Homo-oligomer: A and B are copies of this chain.
Amino acid sequence: MGTRNPFDPPEVRSRRRGGRVKPPLSRDAIVTTALELLRREGPEGMSLRKVAAALETGAASLYVYVSDLRELQALVLDRALGSVDVRGAPKASWRMRLKTLLSSYLKVLDGTPGLAQLALATVAAGPNALRILETVMGLLDEGGIDRATAAWGYDLFMLYITAIAAEHGNQLNPGDDAGHVARVIRGVSPKRYPHVHAAQRELLSGPSERRVAWALDVLLRGILPPSEWSEVKPRPVRNAPASAIARRGGLKV
CB-CB under 8 A from A148, the residues of chain B are: 202, 205, 237-241
Q: Could you tell me if B156 and A159 are in contact, using CB atoms closer than 8 angstroms?
A: no
Q: Could you tell me if B180 and A3 are in contact, using CB atoms closer than 8 angstroms?
A: yes
Q: Could you tell me if B240 and A234 are in contact, using CB atoms closer than 8 angstroms?
A: no
Q: Which of B123, B178, B203 contacts A181 (CB 8 A)?
A: B123
A133–B96 CA distance with the chains assembled, in angstroms = 33
Q: Could you tell me if B220 and A150 are in contact, using CB atoms closer than 8 angstroms?
A: no
Number of A interface residues, CB 8 Å?
77
CB-CB under 8 A from A199, the residues of chain B are: 137, 147, 150-151
CB-CB under 8 A from A184, the residues of chain B are: 5, 125, 130
Copies of this chain present: 2
CB-CB under 8 A from A3, the residues of chain B are: 176, 180
Binds B, one of A21-29, A53-61, A160-168: A160-168
Q: Could you tell me if A121 and B130 are in contact, using CB atoms closer than 8 angstroms?
A: no
Q: Is A251 an interface residue (CB 8 A)?
A: no
A123-B159 in contact given A141-B195, A146-B237, A195-B141 (Cβ < 8 Å): no
Q: Could you tell me if B121 and A156 are in contact, using CB atoms closer than 8 angstroms?
A: no
CB-nearest residue of chain B relative to A187? B5
Q: Is A174 an interface residue (CB 8 A)?
A: yes
A171–B163 CA distance with the chains assembled, in angstroms = 18
A186–B108 CA distance with the chains assembled, in angstroms = 27
Nearest Cβ on chain B to A146's Cβ, whole angstroms: 7
CB-CB under 8 A from A134, the residues of chain B are: 192-196
A125–B50 CA distance with the chains assembled, in angstroms = 34
CB-CB under 8 A from A2, the residues of chain B are: 183
CB-CB under 8 A from A159, the residues of chain B are: 159-160, 163-164, 167
Q: Could you tell me if B120 and A163 are in contact, using CB atoms closer than 8 angstroms?
A: yes
A123-B218 in contact given A148-B237, A195-B138 (Cβ < 8 Å): no
14 inter-chain pairs at a CB distance below 8 angstroms, sorted by A residue, are: A3-B176, A3-B180, A123-B181, A147-B198, A148-B239, A148-B241, A152-B215, A155-B164, A156-B218, A160-B160, A160-B163, A217-B222, A220-B222, A222-B223
